[in-house]
A and B are shown apart, each in its own frame.
Chain A
Amino acid sequence: MSDSAREAALRVRSLRKTYKDVVAVDGLDLEVFRGECFGLLGPNGAGKTTTVEVCEGLTVPDSGEVEVLGMRWATDAATLRQRLGIQLQDTQLSEKLTVFETIRLFRSFFERGPAPDEVIALMQLEEKRKARVGSLSGGQKQRLALACALVGDPDFLFLDEPTTGLDPQARRQLWELIDRFKLEGRTILLTTHYMDEAERLCDRVAIVDHGKQIALGTPRELVASIGAEHLVEFAVDGAAATLELATLRGIEGVLEVQMDDGTVRMQVTELHRAVPALLDEFGRQGVPLTELRTHSATLEDVFVALTGRHLRDE
């Protein structure tokens, strides 16, 4: 990316927000550059939604600074609202209105932007133009929510868990649409607890946990940061207790061995050396192997390596 494009669209400094005695966001810093798709990745309850809603001017933080497109909510709210496209988590649009009526309503709030039918075409909702919102599938509802975020031709798009609860096909369709906004040069801040979504869509990702940022970088950098290219997981029924983990750690190319409830996870650099050595070791120790899986390291593994937990453990 050239230096001129590295202008910040969003700056968040030492953001804190507490609800009663729960600390939702605990001193978070963020910088999102213009034109990039930035992902906030973390498990449910990590503080992603609170962070995004502070950036959207819907929640007032306890402390910290937020600057969106060079403006602040306290002084420039009216201008900012015209330039942001927002999709909230769990908004149910009125079920009795049609797709067209809903988009026309949202369009009326913005000074500039495309015609409702143009947005309908863009979101591939032409066939559902006259359908009531209540009759739409989950994927169609989500595309309608995106359409409502796009009616003001926004410079900055906030997408909070855009594909949560959708089936794989609907998720892929939505990803393709989001890809197109990226080509149009819009800045996107996206939250998700799906690592594949973050990997697929985001230029940079911040991993958050318990209201704090625990890692930041491109998906590739983050995966590389844990040093392991591959993961090997296996299960040994009942024999886990007798397994000599220390011996496994000695195998060439094995970086880390964790045992969790009868399943062993190993981070390895070279699969073709580690796996045969591992199988030999099972033969030597006489351990019955019931399951063996390997895969390339993902953001999920980064999260596990950093926190010892899975993204979807909650």
Chain B
Amino acid sequence: MNETQPRQSPLAQLTLVRFLEFIREPEALFWVFVFPILLAAGLGLAFRNRPPEVLGIAAVTPELANCLRQEKLLDVRQMDEAAGEQALRTGKVALLVAPGPQGQVTYRYDDTNAEGRTARMLAEQAVERAAGRVDPVASRDVLLREPGSRYIDFLIPGLLGMNLMGSAIWGMGFTIVDARRKNLIKRLIATPMPRYTYLASFALSRIVLLAIEVVVLLGFGVLAFHVPVRGSFGAFAVLCLLGSFTFSALGLLTASRVRTIEAASGLMNLVMMPMWIVSGVFFSAQRFPDALQPVIKALPLTAAIDALRANMLQGATLAQVAPQMGILGAWMIVCFSLALKLFRWR
């Protein structure tokens, strides 16, 4: 057993191991990949922009009904006068249209009801146009339903930021604390393994997982909801990397001394929970009082989400999100330096 075989790179092996451990953990796969999609899908559906409201009206004759049906915003049902009055009284229709004497048209509705008034205007316009009225001024409608200003467009960068933070902090924290608890870190440093390779393997495996996780969530947003990505792809990738490394450094710091999973889990929630709430994942951080804004703006998740939103929705360049990048960079350097000082190797 003195035969020597060529040696594999310790960093490559450690990174491979990180990756294998991750993909063999079904719960982790769910929380990192599936959960954000379910959340995005659920919230995207709940807050989707509904098509314009269609108003129900009743017409007494088939001729009237036919010409009223030219108006797309009216849902016209034909019924006799008695049934029509009954439907109007019970609010099933907003308007009853009946022929009057000498070619007149009678509109019956409740003028205190906005739907009734709208229905009357729409119905009258349809009837007059059918009778040959020509509008002297041509008009054109511009509808404000463009991608980019909807809730789902606001939400996807928020979820991306939240996911960057969660997977980096949990991925780093749980793995390290579990390894420390099992004396595995101590076993590793009893070998000639260079210590930096252990930490570097987390960074490298993070890049691989980050790519997958961003593609999955962003791909879902783009395909299912046509969420826009207006900034350059390079800038977007840089922001994701910077955010992920910053949160990894924060995760490393969180896990630098803890020995039990319970303590780690509490500490990680303590770090992340406030940011989930104030950093503008689900609603704008502007809703918090002005006095709190400087603090909120200085949080890494706020910076990451603001930068991602600016990139995706307004097409901001890296120069335009320099302040946010500065905040992320500062967090990364401070957390990483502290973590290296505090890290308990056994």
Contact segment of A18-26, A104-112, A188-196, A251-259: A104-112
Check B191–A81 contact: CB distance below 8 A: yes
- Given A104-B8, A108-B7, A108-B10, A93 and B189 contact (CB-CB distance below 8 Å): no
Which residues in B have their C-beta under 8 angstroms from that of A91? 182-184, 186-187
Contact segment of A114-122, A225-233, A270-278, A290-298: A114-122
Check B193–A153 contact: CB distance below 8 A: no
Q: Does A86 contact B (CB under 8 A)?
A: yes
State which size class the interface on A falls in: 35 or more
**Count of chain A to chain B residue pairs whose CB atoms are closer than 8 Å in the complex:** 93
Per-residue interface assignment for chain B, residues 277 to 303, with 1 indicating a CB less than 8 Å from any chain A CB and 0 otherwise = 000000000000000000000000000
Check A86–B190 contact: CB distance below 8 A: yes
When chains A and B are docked, how far (Å) is the Cα of A57 from the Cα of B10? 21
Q: Does B108 contact A (CB under 8 A)?
A: no
Check A118–B183 contact: CB distance below 8 A: no
Q: Does A88 contact B (CB under 8 A)?
A: yes
Q: Does A101 contact B (CB under 8 A)?
A: yes
When chains A and B are docked, how far (Å) is the Cα of A106 from the Cα of B189? 11
Q: Name A101's contact: one of B5, B17, B188, B190 (CB within 8 Å).
A: B17
Check A118–B10 contact: CB distance below 8 A: no
- Given A88-B190, A91-B186, A152-B191, A105 and B21 contact (CB-CB distance below 8 Å): no
Check A93–B17 contact: CB distance below 8 A: no
B interface majority secondary structure: loop
From 327 to 344 in chain B, residues with beta carbon under 8 angstroms from any chain A beta carbon are: none
Nearest-Cβ distance from residue B267 to partner chain A, whole angstroms: 22
Which residues in A have their C-beta under 8 angstroms from that of B16? 101
Q: Does B53 contact A (CB under 8 A)?
A: no
Check A56–B190 contact: CB distance below 8 A: yes
Residue of B nearest to A118 (CB): B1
Which residues of B pack against A, CB within 8 Å?
1-5, 7-10, 12-14, 16-17, 20-21, 24-25, 179, 182-184, 186-193, 346
Closest 4 CB pairs of A and B: A92-B182, A81-B192, A108-B13, A109-B191
- 29 A-B residue contacts at CB 8 Å? A58-B186, A58-B189, A58-B190, A58-B346, A81-B190, A84-B190, A86-B187, A88-B183, A88-B186, A88-B190, A91-B184, A91-B187, A93-B184, A94-B21, A96-B25, A107-B7, A107-B8, A108-B8, A108-B9, A108-B13, A109-B192, A110-B191, A113-B5, A114-B1, A114-B2, A115-B3, A119-B1, A153-B1, A153-B2
